[in-house]
Amino acid sequence: MNDVRESFARGGLIRSSDSRWLGGVCAGLGRKFGFGPGASRALFVLLMIALPGCPILIYPVLWICMPLDGRGYGVPTTPLVQ
């Protein structure tokens, strides 16, 4: 699975942690192809209308395969106990 995530990361397909609604997939795809997050979400909705069922199946696969951009892992930047 790490090989798939590394190949996605090399190709520029990385989920967004700062402008995500659900998983950051649409925002990450938009970033890759030069769209804003809103435009990529609108395109995703249009694809759901045009191709019923297909985008709903693809989204969870991309959510699993696309790595997060590194800022949203929840790793604290400061120690919890001082």
Q: Which domain holds residue 12?
A: 2-65
pLDDT per position as a tens digit, 31-76: 888 888 888 889 888 888 888 777 778 888 888 888 887 754 444 4
- H/E stretch holding 16 reads none
Kindly list the distances between the CA atom of residue 40 and the CA atoms of 33, 45, 55, 65, 78, in Å, as whole numbers in the listed order.
9, 9, 13, 18, 34
CB 26 within 8 A of CB 37: yes
Q: What is the DSSP letter of 68?
A: B
Domain presence at residue 58:
yes
Q: How many structural domains comprise the chain?
A: 1
Residues 15 and 32: their CA atoms lie apart, in Å, by: 10
Domain presence at residue 72:
no
- Indicate the pTM of the whole model: 0.67
